[in-house]
Amino acid sequence: MDRFQLYIDGQFRDGAATFQSLDPATGTPWAEMPEAREAEVNAAVTAAHRAFRSGPWPKLTATARGKLLMKLADLVQAAAPRLAALETRDTGKIIRETSAQIAYVADYFRYYAGLADKIEGAHLPIDKPDMEVWTRREPVGVVAAIVPWNSQLFLSAVKIGPALAAGCTVVLKASEDGPAPMLEFARLVHEAGFPAGVFNVITGFGPTCGAVLTRHPLVDHIAFTGGPETARAVVRGSAENLASTSLELGGKSPFIVFDDADLDSAANAQVSGIFAATGQSCVAGSRLLVQSSVKDAFLAKLKAKAEAIRIAAPDEMTTEVGPLCTLRQRDRIERLVAESLTAGARLVTGGQTPEGAGFYYPPTILDCSSVPDAASVTQELFGPVLSVVAFETEDEALEIANATQYGLASGVFTASLTRAHRMIRGLRAGVVWVNTYRAVSPIAPFGGSGLSGHGREGGLAAALDYTTVKTVWLRTSDAPIPDPFVMR
Ligand code: NAD
Q: Is the pLDDT of residue 388 over 80?
A: yes
Mutate-to-test residue for ligand 1 from 38, 225, 336, 451, highest number of ligand atoms within 8 A of CB: 225
Mean pLDDT computed over 309-316:
97
On whether the pTM is more than 0.75, the answer is: yes
Confidence category of residue 456, pLDDT binned at 50, 70, 90 = very high
Report whether 245 contacts 221 (CB < 8 A): yes
Mean pLDDT computed over 393-404:
98
3-state secondary structure at position 210: helix
pLDDT recorded at residue 293 = 98
Q: Ligand 1 centre from 224 Cα, in Å?
A: 7
pLDDT recorded at residue 197 = 98
Minimum-distance ligand 1 atom for the alpha carbon of 213: 20
CATH superfamily name and code, 2-248+458-473: Aldehyde Dehydrogenase; Chain A, domain 1 (3.40.605.10)
Q: Ligand 1 centre from 148 Cα, in Å?
A: 4
**pLDDT tens-digit readout, 337-366:** 999 999 999 999 999 999 999 999 999 999
Rounded CA-CA distance 256/428 in Å is 13
**Any ligand 1 atom below 6 A from CB of 146:** yes
Minimum-distance ligand 1 atom for the alpha carbon of 214: 20
In the chain, which residues fall in CATH 3.40.605.10? 2-248+458-473
Report whether 285 contacts 276 (CB < 8 A): no
CATH architecture of 254-434: 3-Layer(aba) Sandwich (3.40)
Minimum-distance ligand 1 atom for the alpha carbon of 248: 41
Mean pLDDT of the chain, nearest integer: 97
Of the residues 87, 184, 248, 320, which is catalytic? 248
Question: What residues does 133 pair with on adjacent strands?
Answer: 124, 473
How many other CB atoms are there within 10 angstroms of residue 39's CB atom? 11
Rounded CA-CA distance 111/358 in Å is 38
Q: Is the pLDDT of residue 278 over 80?
A: yes
Minimum-distance ligand 1 atom for the alpha carbon of 175: 9
Question: 208 phi and psi, to 5 degrees?
Answer: -95, -10
51-59 long-range contacts, CB within 8 A, separation 24+:
51/9, 51/169, 51/195, 51/196, 51/197, 51/198, 52/139, 52/141, 52/142, 52/168, 52/169, 55/195, 55/196, 55/197, 56/195, 57/167, 57/169, 57/194, 57/195, 57/197, 57/198, 58/167
Mean pLDDT computed over 444-465:
96
pLDDT recorded at residue 134 = 98
**Any ligand 1 atom below 6 A from CB of 314:** no
Mutate-to-test residue for ligand 1 from 90, 175, 230, highest number of ligand atoms within 8 A of CB: 230
Mean pLDDT computed over 96-102:
95
Q: What percent of the chain has pLDDT over 90?
A: 98
Q: Ligand 1 centre from 247 Cα, in Å?
A: 10
- Write down the number of H helices and E strands in the chain: 15, 21
Provide CB contacts within 8 A for 164, sequence distance 6+.
65, 68, 69, 112, 116, 170, 194, 198, 199
**pLDDT tens-digit readout, 188-212:** 999 999 999 999 999 999 999 999 9
Mean pLDDT computed over 457-483:
95
Q: Is the pLDDT of residue 488 over 80?
A: no
Q: Ligand 1 centre from 89 Cα, in Å?
A: 20
In the chain, which residues fall in CATH 3.40.309.10? 254-434
Confidence category of residue 482, pLDDT binned at 50, 70, 90 = confident
**Any ligand 1 atom below 6 A from CB of 35:** no
**pLDDT tens-digit readout, 70-87:** 999 999 999 999 999 999
**pLDDT tens-digit readout, 59-72:** 999 999 999 999 99
Q: 332: part of which helix (H) or strand (E)?
A: helix 327-343
**Any ligand 1 atom below 6 A from CB of 235:** no
3-state secondary structure at position 87: helix
Q: Ligand 1 centre from 227 Cα, in Å?
A: 5
Q: Is the pLDDT of residue 137 over 90?
A: yes
Q: Is the pLDDT of residue 484 over 90?
A: no
Confidence category of residue 460, pLDDT binned at 50, 70, 90 = very high
Q: Ligand 1 centre from 226 Cα, in Å?
A: 2
Mean pLDDT computed over 9-14:
98
Catalytic site includes residue 191: no
Minimum-distance ligand 1 atom for the alpha carbon of 207: 18
